[in-house]
Structure 1
């Protein structure tokens, strides 16, 4: 009898904890631009169901070879993103970016229009579906590797949508792929974006975050950039940092031990969300 009572208490306690935990929605988001529908993972903080408040949103982008659920399934601690949503009372949206889109609009391929998808279709769907701060003052964006490029690039091109952006191990110089991997493999991967011109290094330079310093400076968005000292992308991140410093662009830049790994990104994400929380609080949209 006593054992049954203990089991019952544990069961009730467990249900109580679960009822106040963050929830994860898988949302179907159609793309008129690409003529297809993609999934996005949406983490709602535990406080969302308790009231009618509107919430700031973090758009969290995945890296190359990945998909929308990566941030929920690949971190060593599978609750990392959910815990951060609860801790800061923020909605975290993880949209699809395909394996090698770089979150660009392809000039040659109508089925690869991920800049338009994220900035127009995904944000619009999220704002219509959830109680969000439907304004740039409550919207931030971050990502890892290819997603780091995407976060910095999309925020640079669309400052009307975001108040802050962050990059973790960002592929800020797309041309580095030509040095790291066989050219024929890179060309094959980038053909959905650049088509037959994928062999031309100039295209990588033209579309890299590295060349957007003037645009970033003009936008005056809050920026945080970090990279592990053992990451193969460390030198390009250092170069971007140097250019931002030379251009007198305010930003946080962090190097810490680590490589291009999920262990590193799991450690990096809380620092980025803390940075964003300060920006959102100063904008008066963070829920206490």
Structure 2
């Protein structure tokens, strides 16, 4: 009897085992370095042979690959929606961009191509753009759109939370000059980096797009403008504006909405 109860308890504990979090060291050929990434697999991953959709979540300025693990319930959300979630490192402040000012900064290529290639080789993933999403908060929102514009074959779904969707006007902030150079000398690059100026790169491919920003966020005006530009261009998207600032109180809730949104498309 005791043995049977023990076996039952063991079985129940196995069935209730939550998501798994681990840190991967993912190499970059273009930068000749490796960087950490948090990878969350849902509780079903070790119990089936199925292949999984993947959501890539990019962190904000001066955060890192495990910031969202500390501040949100993203692991539980991996279980809820049965996604693999990958949070690569953006080296604190490199803006997920291939800098023409400093050739050592190639984080656009890293998150757009190299990280997904690594994940697809090591994990049981659905290797289709329709089964991959990329989103991020603040700097990561900029990075998510940059990844989609430059690697439309990789991602079919994109989101942004409180995204820095336009960098002009913030010339002296957030290490931008180290990536984009002096504004006066590189005005064309600064202006061309704005998401609103790259909408033509969506082309004829199908994308599922969600943009959100708090109404007290200092990025609210540029997000509203992006929303209007997308409406004018006839680009189908979901725009969410609700009470909130540029902080974890907002992102903690917003990541829930973003993953719910993606769950409608990642099959």
1:128: Cα distance to partner?
0.8
1:98: Cα distance to partner?
1.6
Q: Which has the higher helix share?
A: 1
User: What's the CA shift string for 1:83-132, capped at 9, x where partnerless?
Assistant: 11000100000001122211110113232100111122111110111100
| Stretches (4+) displaced over 6 A | none
2-structure distance, mates of 1:44, 1:95: 14
Q: 1:127 aligns to what SS in structure 2?
A: helix
8 A Cα contact 2:144 2:158, kept in partner: yes
Matched, 1:207 2:185: no
**Bigger shift: 58-67 or 18-27?**
18-27
8 A Cα contact 1:217 1:247, kept in partner: no
**Bigger shift: 134-143 or 196-205?**
196-205
8 A Cα contact 2:71 2:252, kept in partner: no
1:133: Cα distance to partner?
0.5
2-structure distance, mates of 1:257, 1:199: 38
Please show how residues 78-157 of structure 1 align to structure 2 within 5 Å.
Answer: 80-157=73-150
Matched, 1:27 2:13: no
**Aligned equivalent of 2:62:** 65
With structure 2 as the length reference, what TM-score do the two structures score? 0.91
Unaligned runs of 5+ in 1: 1-8
1-structure distance, mates of 2:184, 2:59: 22
8 A Cα contact 1:58 1:92, kept in partner: yes
1:258: Cα distance to partner?
0.4
8 A Cα contact 1:142 1:167, kept in partner: yes
2-structure distance, mates of 1:255, 1:177: 22
8 A Cα contact 1:112 1:192, kept in partner: no
Residue among 185, 192, 202 paired with 1:216? 202
1:268: Cα distance to partner?
0.6
8 A Cα contact 2:192 2:198, kept in partner: no
User: What's the CA shift string for 1:222-251, capped at 9, x where partnerless?
Assistant: 100000000000000000000000111100
**Aligned equivalent of 1:48:** 45
Q: 1:64 aligns to what SS in structure 2?
A: coil
**Aligned equivalent of 2:212:** 226
Residue among 237, 240, 252 paired with 1:251? 237
8 A Cα contact 2:113 2:151, kept in partner: no
User: What's the CA shift string for 1:110-169, capped at 9, x where partnerless?
Assistant: 321001111221111101111001111211111001101111121122211111100000
**Aligned equivalent of 1:273:** 259
The structure-2 alpha-carbon separation of the partners of 1:177 and 1:17, relative to structure 1 and needing over 3 Å to count, comes to farther
2-structure distance, mates of 1:195, 1:176: 14
